[in-house]
Amino acid sequence: MAQAKNNQKIEFEEKYMTRGQLIWRAFLRHKLGVISLGILIILYMLALFADFFSPYNPIDQSLKHTYAPPTRIHRSYKGTKTKAYILPVITYVDKVTYERSYKEMIFPRRLVVENADGSTAVYEIGNDGVESFKFSINTVESIKVNGEWHDVKKTPKISDYFLFDYNEETLTKGTGRIETSSAVAKEMYFKNYGSRFGLTDENQIEAVAITEILDTIVVKKNGKFEMIKGKVIDYDYKTYPVKWFAKSWKGKLLWIFPMNLHLFGVDNYDNNQYVRFYILGADLYGRDVWSRIVFASRISLSIGIIGMVITFALALFFGGVSGYYGGLIDEGLMRFAEIIMSIPGFYLMIMLRAMLPLDLPSTQIYILLVFILSFIGWAGTSRVIRGMVLSIRQREFVEAAIAIGLPNRKVLARHVLPNTATYLIVNATLRIPGYILGEAGLSFLGLGIREPSASWGLMLAQAQDVYVMTKAPWLLIPGIFIFITVISFNFVGDALRDALDPRSLG
């Protein structure tokens, strides 16, 4: 038995890996680099298929949803678990605090009313000719002086909807009384009603209150309005389901194919103007922040790639020609590069942009930004390439190519410049973040992309306000995307630099 084991032959399989496979194996050892590469792939997929990932057109406005916060998703209906849905939302300026606020809204679809004689009536939209409900709500504004409340204004209003708090108060209770002692409210009510009560100082007003009380129910039935005096004992309201692969606005997949299918959205089956699904909130004009971020990524991410390609084309030309030919050509090209390098990059960008008209459309501004960012980035890279070309030019394979009679342009293009590829790949991943930050900086200063187009820098510029930072912090989210993109490119660059090092290939 032992002899049989000794006679067994152990076979080894030799496997030869190409240089590309060795580089990929070394790259996979860098965990942060792999994760960052995955993040960048996701970001560029979002930019490429922006129309599919955006539930709304990024330029569509809804002034009823100014600075609306991220939409609250409900998963229970009157205490029972149900599929995810949202409710209509409106933003408004509070009459008491004079601050912008928002409320979710109930659009009743079924009412159970107890009449004055004790009988019960059921009204449901779509049944027995019932078309809609309306409610008469008395709004009473009061001020408190010397411990007593005094009514100063009473305003009845008719509404198709009913505001409610998170505890879902019943319709019979209305929205109740909202009371405040803020200095702003006291000042406003003192200006309007101080003379009526003989007040000499706004501080004599101890508090301000607004009370909304449900008064009358109005039912539209068969084209006629019917007023009902009674008590609402039960009701059902409309809900709007959140759906995957929802159909809404018409976009263009890959800029070519018309489509109205999007990854997610809300089923607004009755075209309710108050129904909006904001996963990252809304901006000043009620535009969906998520949709604008996704479309803005097309500009912010592509400008780095295109700018890098142009920069390296210029750097390869100037650095390669200067290093290969030398002499007066080298002196002239490198002195010009040093002049460009002597000017601080950001100030050079501002100077070049200021020399151009400010009222250009966004498409032309985009092209100009690419040109500006490329112009300021090639000089430093060209000097590095020149040094590499000077070294590569002395190699035996270059001398052999010259000896067999190849023209200088072919030697430079086929044998010299390709050997700088390793440096260019690593340098590209480290330079792209600079272009992204450059575009963001110019747009932030108002010298870049303009409305209604969007870029991450422009969206951040719209958030440079104390009110926005405190009341609508979701407008700062584009800054998070810039941070993640820049740090991801840097990690990928570090991983590539290590992977391309011959000592790491094994």
Residue 6 predicted with pLDDT over 60: no
Sequence-ordered list of residues with C-beta below 8 angstroms from that of 137, at least 6 positions apart, any chain: 156, 157, 158, 159, 174, 212, 213, 214, 215
- At 360-384, the pLDDT tens digits run 777 777 777 787 777 777 888 888 8
- At 113-126, the pLDDT tens digits run 877 777 888 888 88
Q: Which residue has the tokens 């007003």?
A: 205
* Stretch 50-57: mean pLDDT: 93
- Sign of the torsion formed by the C-alpha atoms of 287, 292, 295 and 300: positive
Sequence-ordered list of residues with C-beta below 8 angstroms from that of 301, at least 6 positions apart, any chain: 43, 44, 47, 436, 485
Give dist(CA 299, CA 317) in Å, integer: 27
* pLDDT: which is higher, 350 or 1: 350
Residue 232 predicted with pLDDT over 80: no
CA nearest to 312, candidates 414, 389, 421, 413: 421
Q: Which domains, from first to last, does the chain contain? A: 21-29+33-48+290-504 (1.10.3720.10), 89-237 (no CATH)
Give dist(CA 262, CA 265) in Å, integer: 7
- At 271-317, the pLDDT tens digits run 888 899 999 999 989 999 999 999 999 988 888 888 888 888 888 88
Q: What is the pLDDT of residue 185?
A: 83
Q: Which residue has the tokens 């293009």?
A: 413
Give dist(CA 44, CA 57) in Å, integer: 19
Helices and strands of the chain, counted as H and E runs = 15, 15
SS3 15: coil
